[in-house]
Amino acid sequence: MKVSSRLYPPHYLVLSIASIIGIDWLVPVPFVAAAFALIGGLLFLVIGLILAASAARLFSKAKTGIVPFSESTKLVVSGAYRFTRNPMYLGMFFCLIIRQRFVLKEEVQMQETFGDDYAQFKARIRRWI
């Protein structure tokens, strides 16, 4: 399956962060709420980055493609993949865009590549959490 995209998930992450900053600049919220939102947002961002980095490390150890739609040579089912099929995408803000542009197409690719092994993994592990 050959699918190309000019924007990859990290680009959408940067765009979502820029959008949040832009919205906050256009429609500022009171200081207390802003501080609470900033701390909460940073916490989610850090957790998401840690999750993505640990998942990327598993791909690297397995020597399989990490770039969307690149060749997959091994089905990774350990680490965060025991709980979610998409840990690298989980923390991204534009989840509907990520789902439509990447996840659904990658699931077809994984099914074609790994067959029953992927079907069993998909039956055991939820797409998100």
The tens digit of pLDDT for each residue in 20-36 reads: 888 888 888 777 677 78
Q: What are phi and psi of 112, to 5 degrees?
A: -65, -35
Kindly list the distances between the CA atom of residue 29 and the CA atoms of 26, 32, 93, in Å, as whole numbers in the listed order.
10, 8, 20
- Ranges 7-11, 12-16, 92-96, 106-110: which has the least confidence: 92-96
Tokens describing residue 101: 């542009």
Tokens describing residue 10: 């990290």
Kindly list the distances between the CA atom of residue 83 and the CA atoms of 36, 87, 124, 128, in Å, as whole numbers in the listed order.
28, 8, 9, 8
- Ranges 22-36, 62-76, 79-93: which has the least confidence: 22-36
Spatial separation of the C-alpha atoms in residues 34 and 40, rounded to whole Å:
10
The tens digit of pLDDT for each residue in 101-128 reads: 999 999 999 999 999 999 999 999 999 8
Percent of the chain with pLDDT over 70: 93
